[in-house]
Amino acid sequence: MTPLPPSNPSKKLSIDCLFVAFICFVLFSLQLGNRPFATPDEGRYVEIPREMVATGDWVTPRLNGVKYFEKPPFLYWLQACSFKVFGLNEFGMRLWIVLFATLGCVATYAFGRSIFDRTTGLMAAGILATTALYFSLARLIILDMVVSTWVTLALFCFYQALSKPASQNRRLWFYGFSAACAFGVLTKGIMALAVPGPLIVLWLTYTRQWRLVLPLYFVGSCVVFLAITAPWHILVSLKNPEFAYKYFIVEHFLRYTTSIHARYKPVWFFLPITLVGLLPWTTFLYDAWKTFWGRRTSPLYSYLWMWIGWVLLFFSVSNSKLIPYILPIFPPLALLVAHSLREACQNRSHMVFYRHSFVMIILGMLGFIVPNALPEVLDEKIGLIPYIYGLSGLFLAHGFSVVICLKRDSITSALSSIGVTAVIMTVILGAAAPHVQRPSLKGLVNIILKEQKPGEPIVSFLTYYQDLPLYSQQRVMVVGAKGELDFGTTVEDTTEWIVTEEAFLQKWQAAQRGGHKIWAVGRLHDVEVFQRKNTGFHFGITSIDGPNVLFHN
């Protein structure tokens, strides 16, 4: 008999990674271009790259022509490349976020396969991709998905490096750790070090494994880190002397320690966000915690749980909190939930799934009751009601289907039901996305561009609309609302297009006398109040879209 050829683990790993990447990419790409850019984030993170392409300056980020030093440029550079290829296209500009979300799932699979087994790794990737928060942020142009992926890769590389003997392989894993940290810094600043750095120190101290750190290949790792991070920081500092104070002091130290950006939330803010964001897999956290508590001396379990705990603690004590900040805990959560589910299936533990079905049924019932009993909860998001009912019906049907599967002693079918429910949930979330974000100016801008003649300015009136310069692809005049443009106006003369209400009124009246048209977008209420205060202000309304009005002189 001819012996079978030996298996190739590397080839199997590569095939699995390609499979996970393909499935996740397709999942995240569905309905990706079915909505305009969301404001403020997507408007900002597409407009800055657009201006890089328009001006040819890829060192100094600018927003509506004003210097903008809140974040480093890595995502801007990627988005600028997309703009060159796709132009102003919602699908094309969101593609990099989809790719990084996909990379995060592939990394989670590879890590899970390395520390547990292939099945657990595949389950972890599937769980991560179909959690409510990860899926939603995989389709939104923000920095958090990108930096979360870099943090995941960094912590994965560090754990792998520590498990290797002194060798070229160990050296490369440490270099991978340094590179991931460096790209994280180039994406969102020092936060990319504040997550893995203290976590590693705490974990090594708790597990008493400092002896495993050496050899660290410190010099080579520093060279890799500085080669990636230093060039831009040096160049932008040389071109902009004001950069260091704004970037390091205001946007790192003061943002974290004060409420300078008015993003204060209570210390427990991220706990409900995590529980809701992990749906429909949330119920399995209890069993994952029980597994850890029974093996809390294990370096592996403590590494994953300390990863989660440190990220929660770090952002919870901060005075600046936004929902996406918590994203880095989702890969380790997915790994722990996958491992817990794998053990539950092997042990044929029905109680784990009964508990899950009970919670799903309760959530489904609440989804039908709350919108009717407390309509003010949805406020102006009335368009979400059909999707809430859809999710509620899905959760109810799923909860009962799991019970039926368990009555037939089919745990595999129960697990399959959860997976199918998770995928259907992502489809509903994708369809609901346009109703969650703020009203877009895309329609009003299209009207302007059809009528606008050369030299006619566009005005953002008493509000800085992030998507107004983006969709018009030109710098706009901002009246009485500097917001995040404020710092840039203090270091350059921007009085030509960042103007006070008084200066705007003079320009408006002068244009009327000269027969020149000015196009402006603002809230109808603000325009009417301004007219009552300034009797010489006359305007005509071109179009109204939701709370926003397009008007002209």
Per-residue pLDDT reduced to its tens digit, 323-333: 999 999 999 99
Cα 69–chain centre separation: 19
Is the pLDDT assigned to residue 292 strictly greater than 50?
yes
**How high is the pLDDT of residue 263?**
65
Query: What mean pLDDT do residues 536-547 have?
Result: 92
Tell me which residue of 84, 78, 75, 74 sits closest to 53, measured CA to CA. Answer: 84
Domain assignment of residue 316, yes or no: yes
The CA distance from 437 to 102, in Å, is 23
Domain assignment of residue 296, yes or no: yes
Question: Tokens at residue 369, please?
Answer: 């009751």
The CA distance from 185 to 73, in Å, is 10
Task: Give the structural domain span for 522.
Answer: 442-552
Least confident of 4-8, 89-93, 256-260, 392-396: 4-8
**How high is the pLDDT of residue 3?**
47
Name 545's bridge partners: 548
Is the pLDDT assigned to residue 405 strictly greater than 60?
yes
Query: What mean pLDDT do residues 84-101 have?
Result: 96
Q: Which of 22-27's residues contact partners 24+ apart within 8 Å by CB, and which partners? A: 23/126, 23/129, 24/101, 24/102, 24/105, 24/106, 24/125, 24/129, 25/98, 25/99, 25/102, 27/129, 27/130, 27/135, 27/423, 27/426
Is residue 294 very low, low, confident or very high in pLDDT (cuts 50, 70, 90)? confident
Q: Are strands 458-461 and 498-499 parallel, antiparallel or unpaired?
A: unpaired
Is the pLDDT assigned to residue 379 strictly greater than 80?
no
Is the pLDDT assigned to residue 383 strictly greater than 90?
no
Same domain, 253 and 378: no
The CA distance from 444 to 453, in Å, is 16
What does each C-alpha distance from 153 to 159, 206, 367, 377, 537 come to in angstroms?
10, 22, 37, 39, 57
The CA distance from 32 to 89, in Å, is 11
**How high is the pLDDT of residue 43?**
95
Say how many residues make up the chain. Answer: 553
Query: What mean pLDDT do residues 373-401 have?
Result: 86
Same domain, 239 and 184: yes
Question: For tokens 């990737």, what's the residue?
Answer: 125
Same domain, 512 and 382: no
Name 548's bridge partners: 523, 545
- Residues of the chain with pLDDT > 90, as a percent, come to 77
**How high is the pLDDT of residue 251?**
80
Is residue 347 very low, low, confident or very high in pLDDT (cuts 50, 70, 90)? confident
Same domain, 213 and 354: no
Domain assignment of residue 274, yes or no: yes
Domains in the chain, number: 3
Classify residue 174 by burial, with Cβ atoms within 10 Å: 0-12, 13-18, 19+.
buried
Classify residue 355 by burial, with Cβ atoms within 10 Å: 0-12, 13-18, 19+.
middle
Per-residue pLDDT reduced to its tens digit, 247-257: 888 887 777 77
**How high is the pLDDT of residue 171?**
93
Picking from 332, 347, 362, the residue at the C-terminal end of a domain is 347
**Where do the DSSP E strands lie in 413-539?**
458-461, 477-479, 498-499, 519-523
Domain assignment of residue 3, yes or no: no
Same domain, 416 and 469: no
Same domain, 338 and 365: no
Same domain, 341 and 357: no
Same domain, 135 and 227: yes
**How high is the pLDDT of residue 2?**
42
Is the pLDDT assigned to residue 340 strictly greater than 80?
yes
The CA distance from 476 to 458, in Å, is 5
Domain assignment of residue 512, yes or no: yes
Domain assignment of residue 2, yes or no: no
- Alpha helical stretches, state H, 295-374: 299-316, 330-346, 350-373
Is residue 5 very low, low, confident or very high in pLDDT (cuts 50, 70, 90)? very low
The overall average pLDDT reported for the chain is 92
Residue 246, Ramachandran bin (φ over 0: left; ψ between -120 and 50: alpha; else beta):
alpha
Same domain, 275 and 323: yes
